[in-house]
Structure 1
């Protein structure tokens, strides 16, 4: 099976600053909402919250590569980063009832949707994130179906089952949102042009060891290197994310999620 080394960023410089600003702003929003949700959990107001801290680059970078006019994301339960990136209901993604609101396995839904997209020739690609709550059997069955039927699906997560199916797999730095975006965009284009399913496998530091490789700091450094932003941009992002997070968390506290 083709397996790349760790993916490096090769996004064209045209439009790069705007993309980095979007990625940073979205990840900052996710980080702020997640921090507020963890505070609610500590106070007993939000039982069962699953933090996405350290995984923002994977969720935001992959979802940001979608073409919203024809592609569709199938995240694991409570993938807050995907919800914020795709303008879905962030409060529902955070709330403890969100997992129960999802009917069935996202990988099964993604493969079924991809089959429809292939038959209808829409050019759409399903993006499915492999996370907690999805069993190895579900992933294996979904990848088998996708491989046999040559379906337009991109799996983001551990690639072990794909090795059996011979799917192309790209390893990517899981704390670099731009690298995740670039690798996912390539996989989406491949699927869109008839290349079939593939896997983007983010490589993340061990839990508790990612402080020096914070997704937000990595993106901030890349953005500052473009010379298109100053401290004012980051101050504005902080103010905006505070307001957005307050609105989302307020809905959760009042039971309107």
Structure 2
């Protein structure tokens, strides 16, 4: 796949440049303190460890499904930390890293994948919408929300509100995503479309979906696009922050293609060995987002062995706590399916509930 337009601040060896000018003419840089660099590393290690716990729990029969983010930590943590408190995010079902950055208890998606609840967090409180299972549908939800932000006059200033919609390279082939591009472009919506191109839409490689780099599609809808090294947490942050500021300033939508790689399966129901070769996976391991930031921290003498050991220990404890809480989740009763549908109830829903209870009771005899 053509890699023109690749914005990178941190290469796989951990070498760093202060700034880089992208093909869009924008100069990208970060101005982090040492504590902030260390914080990004801790975020990524913790998110990866919690994600691994999700895979393990599913394999042990404790979850019905799990969508791993392995390999995509930099794209998610970088973009998640670039969000300002007032910004609204619309995720897929894989944005566990962004969820973590928004301050949501990481157990929340486990309730969804265990079948205990439908997510559980308040989107308005955390400015992070519920997970969307239907491929690409969240981009339309985000577009409508962003249009509302404009209508309410919450753009055009540095403290305005922006919206970000996450989706994958496979979703870019969906009608909903293309419709959201049309509407956002026409109505100049303050939205950032963040495409994590992890190279595979389940089993279909990216080159089976597009003949041009995905970020170039934005031009056909009348707004800019930029490609960033999605395994570079610094560049992911810088590009996303600039794009969000572009949107909140009233300049309309922008498309980011975070060029990354899904190291694991699409979900726990998938077998990636059937459609990709081991040498490809090994080549991407050399570009690992956590390893390159660790190399940078060591080279710059920002962190040492004690710090790295403490981060690993803290992440392990967080994963153990998560596991214990997941296993302690109570199994919901089938009739609870009808709860929380309408805030004040519904006569029709009450009738359905009674019929369902009668049906269940018929087996007791």
Structure 2-normalised TM-score? 0.64
Moved more, 105-114 or 11-20: 11-20
Counterpart of 2:57 (choices 40, 47, 69) is: 40
Counterpart of 1:136 (choices 174, 179, 189) is: 174
> What RMSD in Å do the two structures reach over aligned CA positions?
2.6
Residue 211 of structure 1 is matched in structure 2 by: 285
Counterpart of 1:79 (choices 91, 95, 99) is: 95
Q: Residue 93 of structure 1: CA displacement?
A: 2.2
The residue correspondences of 1:101-116 to structure 2 (distance < 5 A) are: 101=119, 102=130, 105-116=137-148
Moved more, 143-152 or 110-119: 110-119
Q: Secondary structure at the match of 2:193?
A: strand
1:154 and 2:171 are equivalent in the alignment:
no
Q: Secondary structure at the match of 1:213?
A: coil
Q: Secondary structure at the match of 1:90?
A: coil
- After superposition, the Cα gap between the structure-2 partners of 1:124 and 1:15, relative to the gap in structure 1 and judged at 3 Å, is same
Q: Residue 66 of structure 1: CA displacement?
A: 0.4
Instruction: Specify every segment of 5 or more residues in structure 1 that has no aligned partner in the other structure, as ranges.
Output: none
Cα distance in 1 for partners of 2:152, 2:298 equals 43
Q: Residue 190 of structure 1: CA displacement?
A: 1.0
Counterpart of 1:119 (choices 151, 158, 164) is: 151
- After superposition, the Cα gap between the structure-2 partners of 1:205 and 1:7, relative to the gap in structure 1 and judged at 3 Å, is same
| Bigger Cα Rg | 2
Q: Which has the higher contact order (CA 8 A, sep 6+)?
A: 1
The one-character-per-residue Cα deviations of 1:72-130 (angstroms, maximum 9, x if unpaired) are: 11111242111111112322224414995546732122112212222223310001111
Cα distance in 1 for partners of 2:330, 2:254 equals 38
- After superposition, the Cα gap between the structure-2 partners of 1:39 and 1:205, relative to the gap in structure 1 and judged at 3 Å, is closer
Q: Secondary structure at the match of 2:89?
A: strand
Cα distance in 2 for partners of 1:46, 1:88 equals 20
* Greater share of residues in helix: 1
Instruction: Specify every segment of 5 or more residues in structure 2 that has no aligned partner in the other structure, as ranges.
Output: 10-18, 20-27, 120-129, 155-159, 196-213, 264-280, 332-365
- Contact 2:217 2:225 survives alignment (8 Å): no
Structure 1-normalised TM-score? 0.88
Cα distance in 2 for partners of 1:149, 1:165 equals 11
